[in-house]
């Protein structure tokens, strides 16, 4: 293998093989899956997810997904569990064990201990006839006929299947809980995803200066106002109401089209139908309005009065774009 085409062929084969395996997962679903979702939904405790090796990594990801969508979950490494971490499991917790073979030594030691504590146990395994598959209360079958690894050894397709089943559990629980965008924002306050759901125009516009001129303001002072407020725009305001807008572009067009502009007023060059947005609107709505109209600033209103400017750079700075 020494050509780009060979590399691309291998990549495509891997993707196609894993895609076929994932498609087949839906045919392996049984009532155990629905029972598992109902068990997790009705549980008064947490979801403890355990595994070893690559399955442990998948377990960590499923835990993260469940926590971020309203289902409390904790990761417990199978090897650590039999050396003291078994105390993580509380009386009402539901335990999910992930293992492709279902017959690893750690799983064989761990499973009876979980059963003795009377916690309900779910198996995510590619071998329903395994020790884990036979001992679990519910079995979620993630059988794959072949790993993407050419030697059929390195966990590739099998771990992808485990991950997809975890996502399916999380989405089912999300739907049952009626988990909304506001709930999502509550669990993701620091990231750009969360900001798209909770950041408002007021959070941005109040951090900016507030450029404004009167309709009769002369052009020199209009230019000074735009320059000093550094937003590339000024609102034209009369009695606290927005009557127009002047942008850097308007100033450039005026200079191009007129040799004598000293006598001009703001009202002579302003745009009379500026795009505006309510101060309580979501920042993501401001972004969409800017994209739809091909503009980089919006005038902000509060109960019909001029309240400031929100700029494209504000949205970029906050990670909305």
Query: CA torsion sign, 254 to 258 to 259 to 263?
Result: negative
pLDDT of amino acid 256: 85
Whole-prediction pTM: 0.66
pLDDT of amino acid 191: 58
- For residue 234, the cross-strand partners are 246
From the list 222, 199, 193, the residue with the least C-alpha distance to 281 is: 199
In order of their start, the domains of the chain are 4-179 (3.40.50.10490), 198-317 (3.10.580.10)
Tokens standing for 2? 């020494």
- Tens of pLDDT, residues 137-182: 999 999 999 998 888 878 899 999 999 999 999 999 999 988 776 6
d(CA 85, CA 83): 6
- Tens of pLDDT, residues 214-247: 999 999 999 999 999 999 999 999 999 999 999 9
From the list 134, 139, 128, the residue with the least C-alpha distance to 36 is: 139
pLDDT bracket for residue 184 (50, 70, 90)? low
Mean pLDDT of the chain: 90
Bigger pLDDT: 257 vs 139 = 139
- Tens of pLDDT, residues 65-112: 999 888 999 999 999 988 888 889 999 999 999 999 999 999 999 999
Mean pLDDT on 1-22: 89
Counting residues of the chain whose pLDDT is more than 70, the rounded percentage is 94
Q: What angle do CA 76, 79, 80 make, to 5 degrees?
A: 55
Q: For the ranges 41-55, 255-269, 293-307, which has the lowest average pLDDT?
A: 255-269
Bigger pLDDT: 24 vs 258 = 24
From the list 95, 70, 92, the residue with the least C-alpha distance to 176 is: 70
pLDDT of amino acid 192: 55
Q: Report the first-to-last Cα separation within the chain, whole angstroms.
A: 40
pLDDT bracket for residue 45 (50, 70, 90)? very high
Mean pLDDT on 196-209: 85
pLDDT of amino acid 221: 94
Counting residues of the chain whose pLDDT is more than 90, the rounded percentage is 69
Query: CA torsion sign, 154 to 158 to 164 to 166?
Result: negative
């Amino acid at each position: 293998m020494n050509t780009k085409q060979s590399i691309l062929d291998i990549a495509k084969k891997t993707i196609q093989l894993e895609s076929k395996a994932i498609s087949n997962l839906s045919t392996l679903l049984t009532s155990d899956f629905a029972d598992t979702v109902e068990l997790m939904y009705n549980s008064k405790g947490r979801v403890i997810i355990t595994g070893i090796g690559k399955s442990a990594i998948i377990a960590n990801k499923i835990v993260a997904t469940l926590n971020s969508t309203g289902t409390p979950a904790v990761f417990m490494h199978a090897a650590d569990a039999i050396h003291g971490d078994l105390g993580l499991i509380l009386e009402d917790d539901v335990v999910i064990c992930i293992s492709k073979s279902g017959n690893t030594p750690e799983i064989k030691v761990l499973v009876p201990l979980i059963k003795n504590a009377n916690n309900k146990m779910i198996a995510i395994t590619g071998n329903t006839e395994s020790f884990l598959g036979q001992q679990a209360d519910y079995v979620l079958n993630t059988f794959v006929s072949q790993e993407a690894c050419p030697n059929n050894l390195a966990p590739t397709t099998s771990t992808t299947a485990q991950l997809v089943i975890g996502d399916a559990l999380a989405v089912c629980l999300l739907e049952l809980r009626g988990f909304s965008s506001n709930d999502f924002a509550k669990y993701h306050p620091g990231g750009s995803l969360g900001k798209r759901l909770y950041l408002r125009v007021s959070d941005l516009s109040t951090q900016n200066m507030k450029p404004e001129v009167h309709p009769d303001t002369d052009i020199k002072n209009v230019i000074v106002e735009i320059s000093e407020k550094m937003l590339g725009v000024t609102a034209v305001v009369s009695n606290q109401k927005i009557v127009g807008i002047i942008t850097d572009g308007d100033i450039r067009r005026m200079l191009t089209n007129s040799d004598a502009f000293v006598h001009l007023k703001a009202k002579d060059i302003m745009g009379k139908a500026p795009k505006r947005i309510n101060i309580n609107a979501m920042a993501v709505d401001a972004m969409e309005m800017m994209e739809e109209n091909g503009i980089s600033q919006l005038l902000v209103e509060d109960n019909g009065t001029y309240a400031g400017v929100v700029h494209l750079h504000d949205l970029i700075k906050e990670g909305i774009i």
